[in-house]
Structure 1
Amino acid sequence: MSIELLLALPVMLPLAGAAAALLARHHARLQLGLAIATLAAVAVVSAVLALHVAEHGTLVLQIGRWTPQLGIVLVVDRLSALMLVVSSIVTLAVLVYSSAQSVSESSERTPVAIYHPTYLVLVAGVAIAFVAGDLFNLYVGFEVLLSASYVLLTLGGSASRIRAATTYVIVSLLSSLLFLAGVGAIYAATGTVNMAELALRLDRIEPGPRLALEMILLVAFAIKAAIFPLSAWLPDSYPTAPAPVTAVFAGLLTKVGIYAIIRLETLLFPASVISDLLLAAAGLSLLVGILGALAQTDLKRVLSFTLVSHMGYMLLGIGLSTLVSMGATVYYVVHHITVQSALFLSAGLIEARGGTTNLARLGGMAKVAPVIAVLFFVPAMNLAGVPPLSGFIGKVGLILAGIDVGSPEAWILVGIALVTSLLTLYAMGKIWNRAFWQPASEEMAAELADREVAPVMIGATGALVVFSLLLTVLAGPLMAYTDAAAASVLERTPYVSAVLGEDAAAQVQHRIGEDGQKVELTQDGGGR
């Protein structure tokens, strides 16, 4: 079998698994087994693709052997391969975790049999977004995962979940309408939606219309990625969902938006004039998010606000747009997917044992649940950037990139990034102190004595925490991989060459020079 055919499997396997799981809806164990086997197979395929791409370069699959200009093209380069690997590992861990927790504990009437098929459809949507070679199928990927997320958010049918899901649906539909309008406008302006071709044609559009097209897509992706000031929906939507659902949403779905912004600002609109706007949004996300977290008294809401805050780190790297910053951004995306998912799973363990996520009611868990304490403490310190963990490594890379740029804006962002890291440590310390160290009330002591947590939930969370530690242990080779991925997306020619051929790639301007610094593109396509 040709290696290119593997590109379809991260999409086709979850869709086939969803169909099989739906047919097995009356057999819960069989349904769970099918879902786990499917995601395990996706993880293996993703790892094979990542290894092959690292050695041989970008892979392209032309569906139906149509030309890229007319047909559907799937593309996997280092960036998308890495995202596939990390997303498959996280979704597998979360699925195992959810197997021991009722995802519809609020209502016995909820059709639990739809959980596994819907979850697999969500995974398929994420994969479509990562491998899509054109804007329309990127839109399709977003819509598939969003449609599945609507169902997952409302499992249990409680009033709070329906209310939160309503906000999520309205905001998601708005971003989708903007995205679709942007796709239509780009097709009207260029005659194509293939991203490799757009890399050639968008450079020739006048600056005014080009900026308008970029802004439409950027706003749509910023809503999906929860970038301030377009992030108000997230803290109200995620905390009400079951812990496994929240873990996937917080850890993975927002990073699909970041992935789209990376493609937008490197492949489609290189050397953009809106880099200062990106840096401003990064700084506001960092500060507003972490200040919001400090004001919360509910564990899940604290974590939701820290999620908004730390999206700013990734946007900072994109806005700086150098080889160093982009490499650190890709590494930080991998780190944040893993650590944020682990933290929300840990929050689920705390809720399962203590019966609440209200920090004012929790207490005494370090003594009665030391394993849960460790499973929370490690990713919490990682999120705060305590050395030598992966959060520290990623933040140091971003800070060094800002220092290298040396502009006043970059120095301000470096200062904000450092303050945010310290405030994140404070927020995590507040959770640790209230949930684990402060004495438990009589009511909480009774809850802790009566409740137990399924070993499978602890094991799945532990596996994800161990994986997050591997990002530190293997930081050297991983950062070499992310630097290579950054160089590829900034240069653009490897992507365009793989899809359209070397002749087309020769027409694409490079974004980076030999020293790794950004090359500005003049209006006529030259560099200076």
Structure 2
Amino acid sequence: MAATESMNSIDTSAAMIAGPTQLADWLVLMPVVIPIVAGAVLLMARHEVRLHAMIAIGALGLAFAGAAGLLYRVVTEGTLVMTMGRWVPPFGISFSADALGATFATAATFVALAGAIFAIRDIDATGRRYGFYPFLLLMMAGVNGAFLTGDIFNLYVWFEVFVIASFGLLILGSEQRQLDGATKYAILNLVATTIFLVTTGMLYGTFGTLNMADIARKAPQLRESGPLMTIAALYLLAFGMKAAAFPLNFWLPASYHTPRIVTSALFGGLLTKVGIYALLRVFLTLMPVERGVLSELIAWLAAATMILGIMGALSQSDVRRIAGFVVISGIGVMLAGLALGSPVGVAGTVLYAVHSILVMTALYLLAGLMHEAGGSYSLHEVSGLYRSNPFLAAIALAVVLAASGLPPLSGLWPKVMLVKASVDGGAWWLAFAILLSGFLTTIALGRVFILAFWRNSPTAGDDSADFGGAGKARPGGYMVLGMLALPMIAIGVYPDPFMQLADVAAAGLLDPSGYIQAVFPGGGG
């Protein structure tokens, strides 16, 4: 009877559209639908692998244009919602694009486009025949679906979509080290997704709904009677594993160095950020009170992740492994903003996540070009790259500055925001941890730059034009790194619009009333 009354109270006039949907309203689906359709086309054209790169790049270009258009519309008009069929929320499957989801989807699709271009030179005909580009498109459909879904069970579904696709990318080539890395990657991710699914079952049993907006508005009434703290703790465990937070982050440096470098770049730039997105969405939109209770624990996890992560980088000599530990350290920086929960702290996390998507992708691609020019990923074997590849050295310096949070690149401003939020919140020790991680990152990546680029080869004479057998990196890779460097420079030199966008995203997380109103425009339910 109660359910019937609830259904009858819904004002469907504002939710149901009798006329044709405007073309602009379909923007919310474009970042997901285009990669799925293009991936299906590539499967049908599996014998024409020479066309795969062109089709994939075109599809990702369209998806990026759609995501950018969606972001513009969300910023100017507010949250955009589309519910499938004639099922009224919370019963229908909804896509709900707010500033946070649209920002992440735009940044993710941009680096995927860059990765697809880089893959022209990095993935050979065998890799294309085994499905690199269809896997890439499927992975991006899952990543963007996770950013744009309005249903927490469908968040789990999209997690599974990109995890399955990432397995395919990880083992492409079937080398022993790839299979070993994939095994470690698979076990921890399967454990995390299982915890995610079980916890979602508990959530449904408590709320009777899986629509995020519906959960957000019902949480205050069910907080006293439902096991919300248990659910929140389990989500912290599941999403923390996905994001590679301490102490369950050992799978990342054990697996991300094994596949082709473009795959490592996309993984480092994108996959852990989906875990961060899920933590932001669940703890700030759905369970803000529980986040407050867990905030001290999250802060300690953040500090341990950023410090131990970068200490791992200092102990490595393989550039790919160093990049993996830098990814982990950055996850700790983002968790700091979640722990603080203030508008400035959350905005700092959002901006840092966008920065990390760009910079971590660039760092792995830089490692690939260093291997191409120097013949090895080991700092014991690569040297003298500045003499043979001066332009690569310039790009490398920019990436090092950005990843370390130094001016004038993109990493500076989000760290400034997070340090300010920590000081304002009385968490001086957390501010110190953020600054210390930045200092150690400068040392770790500065060591890479000094040894690989500035150091002369011990076998080269003083007048030699080449050092350590260093060769020339092919120019095509420079274009992709330059493509990624442009927004990194823009964020660093002219941060105001990016900081304002992060503020809008943070405000939407901390005050979900606009998000809820967009899903339930009639206020019914």
Matches of 2:142 and 2:297, distance apart in 1: 29
Q: Which moved more, 1:206-215 or 1:254-263?
A: 206-215
Aligned to 1:241: 259
Matches of 2:279 and 2:240, distance apart in 1: 8
The aligned amino acid for 1:380 is V
Matches of 1:149 and 1:51, distance apart in 2: 30
The equivalences for 1:355-366 within 5 A come to 355-366=375-386
Cα deviations by residue, 1:373-394 (Å, 9 ceiling, x for unpaired): 1221101111111123221111
Q: Does 1:312 align with 2:338?
A: no
**1:264 positional shift:** 1.0
Percent identity, please.
36
**1:287 positional shift:** 1.1
The aligned amino acid for 1:181 is V
Q: Quick one: which of 36, 44, 55 aligns to 1:34?
A: 55
Q: Is the 8 A contact 1:355 1:447 kept in 2?
A: no
Aligned to 2:236: 218
The aligned amino acid for 2:313 is A
Q: Which moved more, 1:165-174 or 1:264-273?
A: 264-273
Q: Root-mean-square deviation (CA), in Å? A: 1.8
TM-score (norm 1): 0.91
Q: Does 1:298 align with 2:298?
A: no
**1:461 positional shift:** 1.5
Q: Does 1:119 align with 2:140?
A: no
Matches of 2:170 and 2:130, distance apart in 1: 15
The aligned amino acid for 1:259 is Y
**1:257 positional shift:** 0.5
Matches of 1:322 and 1:271, distance apart in 2: 13
Q: Secondary structure at the match of 2:95?
A: strand
Q: Secondary structure at the match of 1:148?
A: helix
The aligned amino acid for 2:332 is G
Q: Which moved more, 1:195-204 or 1:419-428?
A: 195-204
**1:446 positional shift:** 8.2
Q: Which moved more, 1:322-331 or 1:206-215?
A: 206-215
> Deviation above 4 Å: which 4+ runs of structure 1?
441-451
Aligned to 1:513: none
- Label 1:8 to 1:457 Cα distance change in 2 as closer, same or farther (>3 A): same
The aligned amino acid for 1:320 is L
Aligned to 2:123: 102
**1:472 positional shift:** 1.8
Q: Is the 8 A contact 2:398 2:409 kept in 1?
A: no
The aligned amino acid for 1:177 is T
Q: Is the 8 A contact 1:496 1:504 kept in 2?
A: no
Aligned to 1:84: 105
Cα deviations by residue, 1:218-269 (Å, 9 ceiling, x for unpaired): 1111111001111011001101111110111001110011000000111110
Matches of 2:333 and 2:226, distance apart in 1: 29
Cα deviations by residue, 1:343-371 (Å, 9 ceiling, x for unpaired): 11101101112121111111011111112
Q: Does 1:480 align with 2:497?
A: no
Q: Is the 8 A contact 1:164 1:240 kept in 2?
A: yes
Q: Secondary structure at the match of 2:456?
A: coil
Aligned to 1:286: 306
Q: Does 1:321 align with 2:338?
A: no
Matches of 1:74 and 1:139, distance apart in 2: 14
Aligned to 2:164: 147
Matches of 2:389 and 2:198, distance apart in 1: 51
Q: Quick one: which of 333, 350, 354 aligns to 2:370?
A: 350
Specify every segment of 5 or more residues in structure 1 that has no aligned partner in the other structure, as ranges.
506-528
Aligned to 1:15: 36
Matches of 1:9 and 1:331, distance apart in 2: 23
- Label 1:398 to 1:207 Cα distance change in 2 as closer, same or farther (>3 A): farther
- Label 1:442 to 1:240 Cα distance change in 2 as closer, same or farther (>3 A): farther
**1:111 positional shift:** 6.1
**1:12 positional shift:** 0.9
Q: Is the 8 A contact 2:375 2:470 kept in 1?
A: no
- Label 1:29 to 1:454 Cα distance change in 2 as closer, same or farther (>3 A): farther
Q: Does 1:48 align with 2:69?
A: yes
Aligned to 1:67: 88
Q: Secondary structure at the match of 2:210?
A: coil
Aligned to 1:490: 510
**1:156 positional shift:** 1.4
Q: Quick one: which of 174, 178, 183 aligns to 1:166?
A: 183
Q: Is the 8 A contact 2:407 2:492 kept in 1?
A: no
Q: Is the 8 A contact 1:43 1:88 kept in 2?
A: yes
Q: Quick one: which of 328, 333, 339 aligns to 2:359?
A: 339
- Label 1:298 to 1:319 Cα distance change in 2 as closer, same or farther (>3 A): same
Matches of 2:203 and 2:300, distance apart in 1: 26
Q: Which moved more, 1:466-475 or 1:164-173?
A: 466-475
Q: Secondary structure at the match of 2:96?
A: strand
- Label 1:256 to 1:159 Cα distance change in 2 as closer, same or farther (>3 A): same
Q: Is the 8 A contact 1:353 1:447 kept in 2?
A: no
Cα deviations by residue, 1:285-338 (Å, 9 ceiling, x for unpaired): 011111111111111111111111111111000110001111111111111110
Q: Does 1:418 align with 2:435?
A: yes
**1:113 positional shift:** 4.4
Q: Which moved more, 1:340-349 or 1:459-468?
A: 459-468
Matches of 1:502 and 1:424, distance apart in 2: 50
TM-score (norm 2): 0.92
Q: Secondary structure at the match of 1:100?
A: helix
Matches of 1:66 and 1:320, distance apart in 2: 38
Aligned to 2:11: none
Q: Is the 8 A contact 1:22 1:113 kept in 2?
A: no
Q: Does 1:438 align with 2:455?
A: yes
Matches of 2:226 and 2:331, distance apart in 1: 28
Matches of 1:214 and 1:502, distance apart in 2: 29
Q: Is the 8 A contact 2:412 2:492 kept in 1?
A: no
**1:122 positional shift:** 0.5
Q: Which moved more, 1:456-465 or 1:285-294?
A: 456-465
